[in-house]
Amino acid sequence: MQPYKYNPFNHSGIMNKKLAVWGKVKELNELKETTYTPKLLFSIWGGVIPQTGTLQRAQADTILSKTTHKIIVRYASGKDITQDMWIMFKGHRFDIKFILNPYFRNESLELFCEEVIE
């Protein structure tokens, strides 16, 4: 039996979460004006990995947190994702800041996101 060999490009073990990809869709309203409404575009499987987190203090004892995550999806299912979309997972919204195709291998996409606390 061969010993387990780590493969940094095999993310199949962590892509076990159902993610909803949202975006703004162009529509005409009842006044025939163009509006952009948020809409669920599609769902994909992926992995959510926390990266960094910071707390910032502002005036009047206000605390602001900034948490970044890396979301890994398969290339074929995520190739239509753009930076103006966002990911929803368990009621949390993740705004996409950057999309990376590691080593241009077209196997997976890494979406660097910032969690939005509303």
Task: Provide the CATH number for the domain around residue 87.
Answer: 2.40.10.270
Question: Mean pLDDT over residues 58-67, rounded?
Answer: 70
Q: What is the pLDDT of residue 67?
A: 83
Strand partners, 20: 43, 88
Q: Is 104 helix (H, G, I), strand (E, B) or coil?
A: helix
Q: Is residue 66 part of a domain?
A: yes
Beta bridge partners of 27: 35
Is 40 within the bounds of a domain?
yes
- Report yes or no on 2 lying in a domain: no
Q: State how far the Cα of 23 lies from the Cα of 75, in Å rounded to an integer.
A: 19
Per the domain annotation, does 12 fall within a domain? no
Residue from 84, 115, 110, 91 nearest 99 by CA? 110
Stated pTM of the model: 0.77
C-alpha closest to that of 94 among 75, 74, 66: 66
Instruction: Read off the tokens for 1.
Output: 């039996």
When pLDDT is averaged across residues 36-56 and rounded to a whole number, the result is 89
84 in any annotated domain: yes
Q: What is the pLDDT of residue 53?
A: 79
User: Which residue range forms the structural domain that includes residue 28?
Assistant: 17-116
Average pLDDT over residues 50-58: 77
Give the distance from CA 118 to its chain's centroid: 17
Tell whether 54 is covered by a domain. yes
Number of domains in the chain: 1
Is 5 a residue whose pLDDT tops 60? no
